[in-house]
Amino acid sequence: MAIPTAELHVHLEGTLEPELIYQLAERNRVELPWAGIEDLRTRYDFTGLQHFLDLYYANMAVLRTEEDFADLTRAYLARAVRAGVRHTELFLDLQAHTGRGVPAEVVLRGVDDALGASEAEYGVSSGLIITLLRHLPGEAATEALREALEVDVRLLGVGLCSAETGSARPFREAFELAAAHGLHRVAHAGEEGPAANVTEVLDVLGAERVDHGIRALEDDAVVERLAAGRVPLTMCPLSNVRLQVVGSLDAYPLRELTDRGVLVTLNSDDPAYFGGYVDDVYRETAAALGLGTQELAALARNSMEASFVSEVRRAELVAEVDAWEAGLREA
Ligand code: ADE
Ligand code: ZN
């Protein structure tokens, strides 16, 4: 049985599998530039973040209708359930769709309907985080968030992702707007960018969690700050290897961070692109680093501690990890 987890760093669009890309392309009569699914898969050999992002945004062209967004969300949830996910805080790159002319309402309704249904069908709780795109201007981010706030769907938070270049300062206004609406705040930083970017999103954007944050290790003061403040890192080992942020999974600095008191969680990022969903991430990381049952259970409990659920829901989720661990001890 897969370890019960809270998934805190997964981009909905990063769960768009090649098979679904082709199905949606046919349904929406979108012409794709590849010779087929296998040809598309040969392009998943990335030299770095921007190389990946170029294909990731291009593939989104097949997502056009409310039904498409609902189908994508349902497909992710069905796979996530098999991966042991009991709670998910899902990233949505809203601007990547509104920028192509798909109305915010179409995107948000499709995703929200499917998330609501999954609660009833699978018992998976969920929240939606609008990830603003760092390669676009700050004003565009504020505008996108305003549009999202006008749609009658549940929003959990706001995030920041895409190319980690330039300052995060232009996004301050959007993050302030999010806070004023009671939304949580997270941000990608310290993935390809330096440790100073981690400090910046904490100070300027009020980020409550840092997505990736692996390059915090290049500055002891930043690591100490994360540990002292119990600021969680949502780490994605398979992504970091596939985007050449780290050389190999055996060299992944997970224990170094946990030993120094940082609250680390394991996540998939863009599972359709990086070779695995969160169960694969746990299994492969455990195999590479020799993590035992206790360490895996501690990582799963970290995911619940770092999530934005209520205390009641958190206690339920932690009890599921306790039961999983006890089950393995008895076996
Ligand atoms: N958007 C999707 N995946 C991402 C990643 N790994 N880093 C930044 N932005 C992203
Ligand atoms: Zn990410």
Helix, strand, coil content of the chain in percent (nearest 5): 55, 15, 30
| pLDDT the model gives residue 1 | 86
Q: From CA 265, how far away is CA 322, in angstroms rounded?
A: 17
What's the chain's average pLDDT? Answer: 97
Give 130's strand partners: 92, 158
- Count of domains in the chain? 1
**Containing H/E element for 185?**
strand 184-189
| pLDDT the model gives residue 330 | 83
Residue 65 predicted with pLDDT over 90:
yes
Please report where in the chains the tokens 């004023």 appear, as a residue.
180
Q: How far is the CA of 162 from the centre of ligand 1 (A)?
A: 5
Residue 331 pLDDT grade (very low, low, confident, very high; cuts 50, 70, 90):
confident
Residue 302 pLDDT grade (very low, low, confident, very high; cuts 50, 70, 90):
very high
Q: From CA 190, how far away is CA 214, in angstroms rounded?
A: 6
Q: What tens digit of pLDDT does each residue of 190-206 get?
A: 999 999 999 999 999 99
| pLDDT the model gives residue 132 | 99
| pLDDT the model gives residue 115 | 96
| Residue 258 one-letter amino acid | T
Residues spanned by the domain of 160: 5-330
Residue 35 pLDDT grade (very low, low, confident, very high; cuts 50, 70, 90):
very high
| pLDDT the model gives residue 329 | 83
Residue 119 predicted with pLDDT over 90:
no
| pLDDT the model gives residue 20 | 98
Q: How far is the CA of 115 from the centre of ligand 2 (A)?
A: 20
* 3-state class (DSSP) for residue 126: strand
Q: How far is the CA of 329 from the centre of ligand 2 (A)?
A: 34
Q: What tens digit of pLDDT does each residue of 70-116 get?
A: 999 999 999 999 999 999 999 999 999 999 999 999 999 999 999 99
Residue 120 pLDDT grade (very low, low, confident, very high; cuts 50, 70, 90):
confident
- Mean pLDDT within 155-176: 98
Ligand 2 ion: Cβ-proximal residues, 5 Å cutoff:
269
Cβ(162) – ligand 1 distance below 6 Å: yes
Q: From CA 252, how far away is CA 229, in angstroms rounded?
A: 23
Tell me the best of 171, 269, 273, 281 to mutate to test the pocket of ligand 1, counting ligand atoms within 8 Å of each CB and taking the most.
269
- Mean pLDDT within 276-280: 98
Catalytic residue at 330?
Answer: no
- Mean pLDDT within 279-298: 98
| pLDDT the model gives residue 193 | 98
| Domain CATH code at residue 203 | 3.20.20.140
Ligand in closest contact with the CA of 13: 1
Ligand in closest contact with the CA of 209: 2
pTM (whole model) above 0.85: yes
Cβ(237) – ligand 1 distance below 6 Å: no
Give helix 18-28 / helix 66-82 axis angle, nearest 10°.
160
Q: 268 and 278 in contact (C-beta within 8 Å)?
A: yes
Q: What tens digit of pLDDT does each residue of 223-255 get?
A: 999 999 999 999 999 999 999 999 999 999 999
